[in-house]
Structure 1
C-alpha cells in the first residue's frame, strides 16, 4: 500500500493518483503545477504556507487507504 510521508514532494503524491489534488487545495496548496511542487517536500510546503502538515498527511493517507 502507498503511504504518504512529509518528506515526499507534492508531485510524487500526485503522480500516484491525481484525484488527491482537491485535498492539497483544501489545505491551501493551490499551485500544484509550480516548480515548488516538484522540488519542495510536503513538510516544507506546509510550513511555508502555515498549514498543519500532520493533518494533511493524515487526509492523504486516508484517501489512499480507501483505494
Structure 2
C-alpha cells in the first residue's frame, strides 16, 4: 500500500513501522494526539509547514 497526501496519520502509523520516527524527525511531534487519528498527512504537513513531497518520499521508501 502506498501512502498519499490524503492518507490519515493514524493509518500511516499502521502501514509503515518507521512512520513515527520519520514524522517526529520532521517536527511532527503530535502524532499521538486524538486529531492525528482523523487528520490527513496533507493537513498535518500544511499545519507544520512541511514539504509534502519530501515527507511522502520518506514515508514510502521501502514500502513498494
Q: What TM-score do the two structures reach when normalised by structure 1?
A: 0.85
Structure 2 unaligned residues grouped into runs of 5+? none
Other-structure match for 1:62: 61
**CA-atom RMSD in angstroms:** 1.2
Question: More helix per residue: 1 or 2?
Answer: 1
Q: What TM-score do the two structures reach when normalised by structure 2?
A: 0.88
Other-structure match for 2:43: 44
Count of aligned residue pairs for this structure pair: 64
Give yes or no for the alignment of 1:13 onto 2:12.
yes
Give the 4+ runs in structure 1 shifted more than 3 A.
Answer: none
Other-structure match for 2:52: 53
Structure 1 unaligned residues grouped into runs of 5+? none
Q: Kindly indicate whether the alpha-carbon contact (under 8 Å) linking 1:20 and 1:63 is maintained by their aligned counterparts in 2.
A: no
